[in-house]
Amino acid sequence: MSERNLIDGPLQPFSLIPPLTIREAWVQASSYLSASGVEDAGHHAELLLRHALTWERVTYLMRMQDEFPAASHESYREMIQRRGRGEPTQYIIGEAYFYGLSFRVTPDVLIPRPETELLVEAVLEEAERLWGRTASIRAADVGTGSGAIACALASERSSWHVRAVDISAAALRVARSNAQQLGVVERLEWLEGDLLLPLEGIELDVLVSNPPYIPDEDRAGLMREVRDYEPHTALFGGEDGLEPYRRMMAMLPRLASLPRIVAFELGRGQAQDVAALVREAGYPHIRIVNDLAGIERHVLGILD
């Protein structure tokens, strides 16, 4: 990918000229990121600045008129330049938040998205309706990535045992480290393999998955942060984006029995097709959950 300034041609190196205050460093970085095509540039400049200074936001706000420490110039300059090239802030700082929890993220895993929190909420709601809050539930998170869904479920329900499945050994290492950091590692199990294959013969109550669902033809139109930095094996779902759902529905008979809840995240315009696949797999009750933008984002199949 060529480095282009969306306003003035070739992207120039970012530099800070001391002496300057914390606020002045933020202003310069915000301007550079905005010219580099970064949306919400001020927010990203602040996150990276606080990371360079190892400050919480309250400290940052209270000390914006302080002199920017020379010892932090080079680290901040490098981070802003990386962000200007399109690298996501979460990869640069190595952290993302999901469901109120802090997750380590690397280029081996997708960055958790806020809309996926609604999938976790929907699964917990349906499970509580079927079994109550304290039942011992056997769940699986297929395509776990950073472990965001699996760890959130285990964190919210101490009586759940969650199997975290991913085809990537590197992703499973990241997920396991997050489970350890969050104190839920004893309630999770790690399985490496393709979709439901590692779950053959296993009895599950809940199956949840945020699989690759972007159609192959949409690759060129993705934001550079996604297209050029996030793992493609976790992004693209075949010609129409639905291949992982078809394959998982075909694999369901490999389980010991049908889970009473299956729940999937999906892309814009895919909800009705995925709902039909889930219904054909034996689920009479279908629930579709919209995200905060009103897009049909999640499909749940339920056996009462």
Q: Judge residue 284's burial from the number of C-beta atoms within 10 Å of its C-beta, 0-12 exposed, 13-18 middle, 19 or more buried.
A: exposed
Query: Cis link prior to 19 (omega < 30° from 0)?
Result: yes
The whole-angstrom separation of Cα 34 and Cα 229 is: 19
Q: Which residues contact 280 (CB under 8 A, 6 or more apart)?
A: 249
Instruction: Decide: 246 and 277 in contact? Cβ < 8 Å.
Output: yes
- pLDDT greater than 50 at residue 221: yes
Query: Angle between the 41-53 and 22-35 helix axes, to the nearest 10 degrees?
Result: 140
Q: What is the pLDDT of residues 237-289, one digit of tens each?
A: 788 889 999 999 999 999 999 999 999 999 999 999 999 999 999 999 999 99
Q: What is the pLDDT of residue 224?
A: 85
Residue 6 clears pLDDT 60, i.e. is over it: no
How confident is the model over 93-119, as pLDDT tens digits?
999 999 999 999 999 999 999 999 999
Report whether 42 belongs to an annotated binding site.
no
210 is in an annotated binding site: yes
Torsion over CA: 183, 186, 188, 190 (sign): positive
Is 213 known as a binding-site position?
A: yes
Is the pTM higher than 0.85? The answer reads yes
CA distances from 87 to 22, 82, 94, 216, 231 (A): 23, 6, 12, 22, 13
The structural domains of the chain, ordered by start, are 4-86 (1.10.8), 107-302 (3.40.50.150)
With 0-12 / 13-18 / 19 or more C-beta atoms within 10 angstroms meaning exposed / middle / buried, residue 8 is exposed
Q: Which residues contact 193 (CB under 8 A, 6 or more apart)?
A: 165, 167
* Residue 145 annotated as binding site: yes
Cα distance between the two ends of the chain? 51
Does position 183 have pLDDT exceeding 90, yes or no? yes
Residue 10 pLDDT level (bands cut at 50, 70, 90): low
Residue 7 has pLDDT above 70, yes or no: no
If pLDDT is split at 50, 70 and 90, which confidence band does 45 have?
very high
Do 155 and 181 touch, CB atoms closer than 8 A?
no
Q: How buried is 137 (Cβ within 10 angstroms: 0-12 exposed, 13-18 middle, 19+ buried)?
A: buried
Q: Does the annotation flag 183 for ligand binding?
A: no
Between CA 98 and CA 121 the distance in angstroms is 12
Residue 211 is assigned to a ligand binding site: yes
Measured distance CA(44)–CA(1) in Å, rounded: 21
The per-residue DSSP string of 64-113 comes to: TTSBPPGGGHHHHHHHHHHHHTT--HHHHHTEEEETTEEEE--TTSPPP-
Is pLDDT larger for residue 219 or for residue 292? 292
The answer to the question of whether 144 is labelled as a binding residue is: yes
